[in-house]
Chain A
Amino acid sequence: MSSTARHALIFVAMLAMVSFAWAEPGKDASPSQKASAPALESAGQLTFGPDNILFAADSRGTAVYALDLGDSDKPSDEEMAGIEDVDEKVAGLLGTTPRQVLIQDIAVHPKSKNIYLSVSRGRGDDAKPAIVKVDGKGNLSLVDLTGVSYTKAMISNVPAEDAKDRRGRPLRAMAITDIAYSGGHLYVAGLSNEEFASNLRKVPYPFTGDMTATSVEIYHGAHGAYETHSPISTLMPYEIEGEAHLLAAYTCTPLVTFPLDKLEDGKHLKGKTIAELGFGNRPLDMISFDKDGEPYILVLNSSRGGMKIDPKDVEKAEAIVTHEHITRDTPAAGVPYVTLPMAGVLRADNFDDKHLVVLRRDLNTGGLQLRLWRTEWI
């Protein structure tokens, strides 16, 4: 069943300024400074930014890192065919069993085309982060973060009066669900493990020591009668006619777009709902890609496969018209999309102008694969 919705959803954004804690000025704030190894406590969402900087989200450390990996400017001559049982191979590299390996995200270096994986080695409270590189020959290596140039931005303060566990650690935490870079800002979407709040942070880049960043609270409505807010589970920047937009999927399933230049302090913002993914599904990842010279948006879903959307349709789309009596058999409304057979695809990134790289769970064997897919098939 198709899954766009019929509700008219009116999105209103409320923006509030919050103060952020930043890396100590002068210590690790300079992008060019070679400091001690970045002390990631976890490695989650990845995305490449300007000058091939790798942004890595550290939920456990409530921080984002900008890592200068010093990778090659040129791609390998080899064309990677893909890697079967990539979790087993990562486990071998990290000296452990596949059960103790959780691959969190993938990102392709824009120049070298090496694929970077963020990994948790271990599942418990002593889990360690790792960043693994897959080169053009399909060889895996562990990125040695010692001596890597980096900057860091903290994304929340944990006050001293918080409740603590027996080891004195606070109970409060924020899971960073996605990060996206656009126009000099890193957008950080997160989910608190306590309050249920919209938690989109706008962090200027380069990270410096004395900035104030914006926390964007985005409210949305449902058929003009109800208004609410929600955390964002995945987001993606893209341009329509030269204007930067953010496409965001909420945990309560609407997909909404809003122009980035309207994300200003204290202003209400009316976003546009282009689809509602419906019950029993959650968006996993979103990317834009080119096919035959035309841009498309790809939304990966946990249980509804892939959705391919034409950005021109997003531009033209009207707010979805309300329908009070939707059932599971109600036809989809909103922006048109093509459903793609992408069950099991967990993450995707652009590889080159002809390929995407996908992290995929083979539904027959249960194996985890890293694959290159030709965009002409998508």
Chain B
Amino acid sequence: MDLASRALRALRISAAVVAPVLVASPSLGLGEVQADAGQTAAPIAIHLDTNPLTAPSSVVAVGLDRRVLATLDSAGPTAEDWQRLFPIYTGAELPTDGRPPVAGKWTVEGEVLRFRPRFPFDPGLTYVTRLDLSAGPLAPVDLIPPVIATFALPAEITESSTVVSQVFPTASELPENLLRFYLHFSAPMSRGEAYAHIRLIDDQGQPANRPFLEIDEELWDPGMRRLTLFFDPGRIKRGLRPHFEAGPPLTAGTTYRLVIDAGWRDANDQPLAEGFEKTFRVTAPDRQAPNPSDWSIVAPAVASREPLELRFPEPLDHGLLQRVLHVETADGIPVIGEVRVTNGERRFRLLPQVPWRAGSYTITVETILEDIAGNNLNTVFDVDVKNSGSQVGRGRKVFELQFDVDPR
């Protein structure tokens, strides 16, 4: 919801207290402020200011004596003074648990005392404040009872609508040493509880015991719509203790379900609209590094905007395929276009922005490209050093492939 529409919503203010007129002790040097006890004055009110021009929302106290405020301002209250004078807390009641006031800045603007929070107020969350001018550097100010008020921005009404939109690899047969899944979501998700909502269940209905690498950082993309889920590498790698203790997370010949429950919350703190399952059968481990000489190239026709197509004998990593293949003309000019990965991540297509011209082209492939078992173009995931034949082009940064767009 944008700020303007937020501002148009009705505010919920639960307190506006009528207070006697400000009375200050002459000994404080307040000069022009005269004792005026017994009379009533304008009510002191505390409310949210959601004017989008002064966004984000702030809290203002109005109905205070301009001269008192000016004197207060000139006294140069510290942050600690303001926190005693006009603290804002989370919750509907003043805290008793030592909770600190909300961080922000206070300003005097004529007859208005304003608090701007460092972070915008949360919609739907109730805040409480206690305005007490006697608590600041002007103390003691007599006969001004503290004003306690609560306020809240309207809650943003959101419904569960986020779903798992895709899981890669898409194939229904996956190798025993599968390294990762990519979970794509239709909207931004929340961080911090991913692993509690993902289970791997075998064909006996038994959930696997900690099959995934659980790290505090959670490997999200910056937009929080794709989670990278690594299997525990210590269990996949041969020769490491977790591999001996617990075995690989997947066993060839077994069918598994990757189950994502709907309790996982999105960035709006709403659960998923529905859970998700991917069923797959596990095949023998893949311990071969992908070799670009095994790929076939389907060259496009000249003057067309047909895709350049690369066909792989095995699925390659969906994430890396998006960024590690680069196509250039013989003059070194990059071919810009849209990348599509299809056919169970066995096909890479580049659809150019402009039609192909006749000539020779070079496809540069960064060797960090991996298959779905984490074998990259330089080396397999765990190299059997007695069998160095499994290594391809070790130490290289790139492979280069050539193709021609023939003239008519």
What residues make up the interface of A, taking CB atoms closer than 8 Å to B? 3, 5-7, 9, 44, 59-60, 85, 88-89, 91-97, 99-100, 102, 104, 120-121, 123-128, 130, 139-142, 159, 161-163, 165-167, 169-173, 175-177, 191-197, 221-228, 230, 233, 251-254, 276-280, 282, 284, 302, 325-328, 330
Contacts and interface: CB of A to CB of B under 8 A. Distances in A.
B102 interface: yes
Contact of A196 (B88, B180, B215, B218): B180
Contact of A7 (B100, B221, B239, B326): B239
7 contacts: A92-B100, A95-B90, A121-B119, A141-B103, A194-B228, A194-B320, A251-B234
B240 A276 contact: yes
Interface string B201-243: 0000000011001111111111111101010111101111110
Interface in B304-334: 317, 319-320, 322-323, 326, 334
Contact of A252 (B91, B117, B118, B234): B234
B89 interface: yes
A325 B215 contact: no
Contacts of A126: 188, 267
A2 to B, nearest CB: 12
A125 B241 contact: no
Nearest to A229: B379
B269 interface: yes
B320 A124 contact: no
B101 interface: yes
B98 A89 contact: yes
Contact of A223 (B125, B214, B239, B323): B239
Nearest to B325: A161
A93 to B, nearest CB: 5
A104 to B, nearest CB: 8
A170 B121 CA distance: 29
Chain B, interface size: which category?
35 or more
B384 interface: yes
B374 interface: yes
B397 to A, nearest CB: 9
B241 A276 contact: yes
Contacts of A253: 234, 240-242
A151 to B, nearest CB: 23
Given A85-B97, A92-B102, A170-B221, A100 B237 contact: no
Interface string B361-388: 0000000101000101000011111100
Contacts of B240: 5, 7, 222, 252-254, 276
Interface stretch (B134-142, B189-197, B276-284): B189-197
A230 B245 CA distance: 19
- Interface-centre pick from B216, B220, B246 (highest chain A CB count, 10 A): B216
A125 B188 contact: yes
B194 to A, nearest CB: 10
Nearest to B89: A92
A163 B226 CA distance: 12
Given A191-B219, A222-B239, A88 B214 contact: no
Contact of A225 (B101, B225, B245, B386): B386
A226 B383 contact: yes
B127 interface: yes
B266 interface: yes
A315 to B, nearest CB: 23
Interface string B1-36: 000000000000000000000000000000000000
Given A276-B240, A279-B246, A124 B230 contact: no
B233 A226 contact: no
A304 to B, nearest CB: 12
A216 to B, nearest CB: 15
Contact of A44 (B99, B217, B339): B217
Nearest to B385: A227
Nearest to B179: A196
Contacts of A102: 191-192
A102 B226 CA distance: 20
B103 A228 contact: no
A326 B336 CA distance: 52
A166 to B, nearest CB: 8
B268 interface: yes
B127 A95 contact: yes
Contacts of A162: 322-323
Given A92-B100, A104-B216, A163-B319, 14 more contacts: A3-B241, A7-B239, A93-B102, A95-B125, A161-B334, A165-B225, A167-B223, A169-B222, A194-B320, A196-B370, A225-B384, A225-B385, A254-B240, A330-B244
B159 interface: no
Given A94-B103, A142-B118, A327-B245, A60 B222 contact: yes
